[in-house]
Amino acid sequence: MTQFFQQVINGLSIGSVYALMAVGYSLVYSIMNFSNFAHGGVIMLGAYFGFFSLTLLHLPFLAAFLLASIGTTILAIVVERIAYKPLRERKAPFLYFIISAMGASILLENIVIATIGPTFRTYPEVFARTPISIGPLAIGRLDLLMFVISAVCLTALILFIEKTKMGKAIQAAAYNIKACALMGINTDKVILIVFGLGGFLAGVAGVFFGMKYTVYPQIGNITTKSFIAAVFGGLGSLPGAVLGSVILGILETFVAGYLSSQYRDLIAFVILIGVLIIRPSGIMGKNTEDKA
């Protein structure tokens, strides 16, 4: 029983970071109807921003964290302006956006390989390795922080979307961006804010992944998991992305804990294939016709 709860806690912690990445996918998808594969590159650079803020600039942890997230916010917006805005203005088909996204992703990865190098880097130890004990359960300090900060970020995001005027505009744009413009809403600004929000959360996620594992140019591939989580939950739905991520995180740790850690990645793809066959719109997704 103890092991069961231990796995749930580990799963929640990793799932919450998947959720940070998955909502970035989902936000962009809900408004622009394409999967922004450059998101992984932004997360990867978030991990590097955090790493260098700690090692080169010797910033305290929170400052490094913030700097990395601001960096990725700007980066995500720059990617949008360069890779997608010209396509938007030409009213290009969705397929072109996906191709452009893949190009941006490859470009970001190779810029890092060419400038910083392909080596694996390890974050300096920010937190003590000794876990916090609650009864028989042991919770890693980093795991706890990952869960708490992710939960705070996601709650703030959902409040922003549900309670503010701009949030309503984002919801409206997700339904129909033309009608949104007819309300006098500057849709270009809505898109900019959506990329900025996704970018900020990507920075948070990137730093956590860098700390939990290592930093390397292909770390962005981890977003495959969050992409699967977003599809599982229902692409375009924020609560769906969070739910899908948490379930995926818990399932993964269960598989790793009870079967073998070698099967850990397998479960994600089994879920993806299963969802696509049984319920392509995911747990909470909207109808996915005409979307790429």
Q: For other proteins, which is the closer residue by CB, 182 or 277?
A: 182
Q: For other proteins, which is the closer residue by CB, 49 or 84?
A: 84
Q: For other proteins, which is the closer residue by CB, 170 or 248?
A: 170
- CA 272-30-163 angle, to 5 degrees, is 120
Q: For other proteins, which is the closer residue by CB, 130 or 287?
A: 287
Q: To which H or E segment does residue 193 belong? A: helix 187-212
Q: Does 186 bind other proteins (CB under 8 A)?
A: yes
Q: For other proteins, which is the closer residue by CB, 101 or 284?
A: 284
Residues 6+ apart with CB under 8 A from 216: 118, 119, 120, 121
Q: Does 163 bind other proteins (CB under 8 A)?
A: no
Only segment of 17-25, 151-159, 164-172, 217-225 that touches other proteins (CB under 8 A): 164-172
Strands 137-139 and 132-134: antiparallel
Q: Which of 135, 178, 262, 278 binds other proteins (CB under 8 A)?
A: 178
* Number of helices (H), then strands (E), in the chain: 12, 2
Q: Which of 160, 164, 162 lies closest to 152, judged by CA?
A: 160
Q: Which of residues 249-288 bind other proteins (CB under 8 A)?
A: 286
Residues 6+ apart with CB under 8 A from 46: 68, 69, 71, 72, 202, 203, 204, 205, 206, 207, 210
Contact by Cβ (8 Å): 10, 142: no
Q: Which of 6, 33, 55, 187 binds other proteins (CB under 8 A)?
A: 187
Q: For other proteins, which is the closer residue by CB, 286 or 291?
A: 286
Give the nearest distance from C-beta 1 to other proteins in angstroms.
42
Q: Does 214 bind other proteins (CB under 8 A)?
A: no
**CA–CA separation, 209 vs 43, rounded Å?**
9
Q: For other proteins, which is the closer residue by CB, 171 or 281?
A: 171
Q: Does 165 bind other proteins (CB under 8 A)?
A: yes
Q: Which amino acid is at 243?
A: L
User: What end-to-end distance do the CA atoms of the chain give, in Å?
Assistant: 43
Size of the site for other proteins (CB under 8 A): 19
Q: Which of residues 189-208 bind other proteins (CB under 8 A)?
A: none
Give the nearest distance from C-beta 187 to other proteins in angstroms.
7
Binding site for other proteins (CB under 8 A): 165, 168-169, 171-172, 174-176, 178-187, 286
